Homo-oligomer: A and B are copies of this chain.
Amino acid sequence: MLLADPILLEQSADLLENVRRVRPLVHCMTNRVTINDCANIILAAGGSPIMAEDEREVEEIVAAAGALVINLGILSETIFPSMLKAGRAAKRLGVPVILDPVGCGASKLRDDCCRQYIDEIHPDIVRGNMSEIKALAGMTSSTRGVDAGIDDAVTLDNAHQMSPLVTDLAKKLGTVVSATAAVDIISDGNRTAFVANGHPMLCDVTGTGCMASALTGACAGAGDAFTAATACLILMGLAGEMAQEAVQAEGRGIGTFRIRHLDYIYTIQREDILERGKVYESR
């Protein structure tokens, strides 16, 4: 059974305020499809993004950062070694590493890179959609391309049955796993949280997954990994709900939805989080 978790909700609201106070520098190594959206969402939430990829500078850049976000969206022979180098430096320096295993399950190359990155770097948070997380756990998944498959839908009714997969993977990898779906599941292996904010229109915008990972980075620069992963998904989801309401009132479509989503990431206040955040624990 899922029960509301008002303490985690309040901690999440605190952490989001902290992002605006601390303005963490977030070093992102991300794909070029959504790199602009990632930078803008970090800024909108109060962080400061820096995108650097050249092997000759990543160690120096990550040393000044509050978090490192690695997104495997568009791989190439030069970027992956650079990502490993940045990751090693981050771990050495205690900078939290967030991995987004984009398209894990869609090609052997992506599978191999995901596993290698996890094995060598031990990221602090792995943030992917449910299909990617299933692929990572070695279970058959319906990954087709980079979007989540329909078999991987998580609802408040089945979240309870889906969560062991996430919890076990978190335990096995020794990391926080943040699996996004209609209901998101976040686990550090011991504790598991569920976030029910969001709206299906988020799936009609490219890169909302990448943006969630970038935003997780901003949050991880301002608090512990488990709360950061949770707080990020409350904010993403609630901004999506509010954006959909605005779009419906205005009679607009997906272009306007993207803009309103970023508007709300920028303007959402502590009270909005406390009033409308839907975070649960499992009992």
Contact = CB atoms under 8 A, between A and B. Distances in A.
A36 B207 contact: yes
A73 interface: yes
A258 interface: yes
A238 to B, nearest CB: 14
B266 A44 contact: no
A206 interface: yes
Interface in A38-56: 39-40, 43-44, 48-54, 56
Interface in A239-256: 252-256
A183 to B, nearest CB: 22
Contacts of A107: 52, 57, 60-61
A41 B25 CA distance: 27
A35 to B, nearest CB: 5
Contact of A206 (B34, B43, B106): B43
> Does more than half of chain A's interface fall in helix, strand or loop, or is it mixed?
mixed
Copies of this chain = 3
Given A36-B36, A51-B73, A53-B74, A43 B205 contact: yes
A14 interface: no
Nearest to A203: B43
B44 A147 contact: no
Contacts of A255: 44, 258-263, 265-266
A50 B54 CA distance: 24
A37 interface: yes
A145 interface: yes
Contacts of A56: 75, 109
Contacts of A35: 32-33
A50 B266 contact: no
Contacts of A266: 204, 253-255
16 contacts: A33-B36, A34-B36, A36-B36, A36-B37, A36-B206, A43-B205, A51-B74, A52-B74, A52-B107, A53-B76, A56-B109, A60-B106, A64-B144, A253-B266, A255-B258, A256-B259
